[in-house]
Amino acid sequence: MEYFLDTADINKIKKINEIFPIAGVTTNPSIIAKEKRDFKLIINDIYDIIGKDKILHAQVAGNTADIIIKEVNRLRDLFGENFYTKIPVTPEGIKAMKTLSKDGHKITATGILSSQQIIMAAEAGAEYMAPYINRSDDIGESGIEIVKDAYRILTINKKSEEECLKKYKRIFEPKILGASFKNVRQVHETMLAGAKSVTVSPDVFERFIYHPYTDWSMDKFNSDWEEIYGNKNLLDLL
Ligand code: E4P
């Protein structure tokens, strides 16, 4: 399972990266714009915290395949191998993915609200496909059903390593990257539906392991221990 953090807030990335086993960070144009800073500085600051061995996803700003292709080439030159460019599943976006994937570029398809958008982006050579779970749920559709259907179709049509290498110049497994979550339950169900990756905002992220009974249990252990051993830990006793 891969957990990504969906934010460009440096302090939040620092805090969560120190504690949790995150695979990297995802951003989108709204998340970047919220920081009101230079784009390149934001990306470099994020890399300074997570390290270049982790994955960073950022979205193109162009709306035509031509511009998108140029942006992706520039981004790869600047930020290197573990940078994934998010490209929307518009006709121009799919057109760009088709060209870029033949050249081994690492692509994350975004703005996804249907299973067919996932399948089409995977066929065009995207490695990650990011369905917006809560935005689907918000209008009475089911983000989870979108993931379930797409995962099933992707599994039936799984490409061999040779096919993948021939078509996209590198070997990778297409992965559903669940996105746009408002609570932990949505994340959990998305994982059960077949998503191998999820991207989650800091506030939802911090609720993953929260449980009041865990806190209660720790308080009880601590007070029972202190009654007999005071504030000693095992290093003092062994
Ligand atoms: C994913 O690619 C998006 O950055 C994000 O998850 C959208 O989340 P939102 O619907 O909460 O804005």
* Residues 70-77, mean pLDDT to the nearest whole number: 96
Nearest CA residue ID for atom 1, ligand 1: 179
| Structural domain span for residue 196 | 2-211
Q: Supply the CATH number for residue 104's domain.
A: 3.20.20.70
pTM of the predicted protein model: 0.95
Instruction: Confirm whether 84 is domain-assigned.
Output: yes
Instruction: Confirm whether 237 is domain-assigned.
Output: no
Residue 73: count other Cβ atoms within 10 Å of its Cβ.
Answer: 14
Residue 191 pLDDT greater than 90, yes or no: yes
* Residues 96-108, mean pLDDT to the nearest whole number: 96
Nearest CA residue ID for atom 10, ligand 1: 180
Instruction: Confirm whether 217 is domain-assigned.
Output: no
Q: Which pLDDT score, from 0 to 100, does residue 80 have? A: 87
Instruction: Confirm whether 47 is domain-assigned.
Output: yes
- The closest-lying atom of ligand 1 relative to the alpha carbon of residue 181 is 11
Instruction: Confirm whether 110 is domain-assigned.
Output: yes
Instruction: Confirm whether 165 is domain-assigned.
Output: yes
Q: Which pLDDT score, from 0 to 100, does residue 179 have? A: 98
* Residues 198-212, mean pLDDT to the nearest whole number: 97
**Total structural domains within the chain:** 1
Instruction: Confirm whether 142 is domain-assigned.
Output: yes
* Residues 54-64, mean pLDDT to the nearest whole number: 97
Q: Which pLDDT score, from 0 to 100, does residue 183 have? A: 97
Nearest CA residue ID for atom 9, ligand 1: 180
- Which amino acid, residue 208? F
Instruction: Confirm whether 77 is domain-assigned.
Output: yes
Test site for ligand 1: of 2, 4, 6, 203, most ligand atoms within 8 A of the Cβ: 6
